[in-house]
């Protein structure tokens, strides 16, 4: 059962912090200060940020060639500190879509950090993970599937879901 914001109105007027578990249904929120949302959040409709937004991610380490689990990818941050060349294969579209609660139009960002690694990390896709046109044809920058080691060894990828079980994979930074 969802909490109703009306139950919190006196606390809100007093400027008190509100902590709740479960669902909280709110028609509109305006925060003049920090608004911290932890855990999985779902927003329906327009979400606008007038200032910077900050994502504090919990890293999941993959330090040797492996297929990432959907749970590892769902953290949004994968690190590698391997001394050997490493290939990280993404999970299937079905597994990843289920872990993220994805549907057609879902967009997800994944950061791969190899700044402490000593060799290259290469990203690969599995069943129902499709390389975007940029990933398939652009080797110089966007679309590049390798992440160098050292200070330049960080990359961001965007997954765009065409359905609950299939995504397009593109390097975006």
Write the pLDDT tens digit of every residue in 3-44.
555 555 554 555 566 666 666 666 666 666 666 666 666 666
Domain ranges for the chain, please list them.
60-171
From the list 98, 75, 90, 80, the residue with the least C-alpha distance to 148 is 80
Q: Which two tokens stand for residue 71?
A: 């749970």
Q: What is the pLDDT of residues 109-118, one digit of tens each?
A: 999 999 999 9
Residue 168 pairs in a beta bridge with 130, 160
Lowest-confidence segment of 34-38, 63-67, 169-173 by average pLDDT: 34-38
Q: Can you give the pLDDT at residue 19?
A: 65
């Amino acid at each position: 059962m969802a909490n109703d914001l009306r139950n919190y109105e006196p606390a809100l007027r007093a400027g008190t912090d509100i902590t709740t578990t479960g669902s909280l249904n709110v028609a509109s929120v305006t925060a003049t200060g920090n608004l911290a949302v932890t855990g999985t959040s779902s927003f329906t409709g327009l979400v606008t940020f007038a200032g910077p937004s900050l994502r504090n991610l919990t890293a999941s380490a993959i330090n040797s060639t492996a297929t990432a689990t959907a749970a590892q990818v769902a953290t949004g941050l994968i690190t590698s500190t391997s001394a050997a060349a490493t290939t990280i294969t993404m999970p299937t579209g079905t597994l990843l879509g289920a872990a993220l609660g994805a549907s057609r139009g879902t967009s997800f960002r994944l950061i791969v950090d190899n700044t402490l690694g000593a060799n290259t990390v290469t990203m690969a896709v599995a069943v129902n993970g499709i390389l975007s046109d940029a990933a398939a044809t652009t080797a110089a920058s966007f679309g590049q599937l390798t992440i160098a080691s050292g200070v330049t060894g960080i990359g961001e990828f965007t997954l765009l879901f065409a359905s609950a079980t299939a995504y397009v994979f593109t390097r975006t930074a």
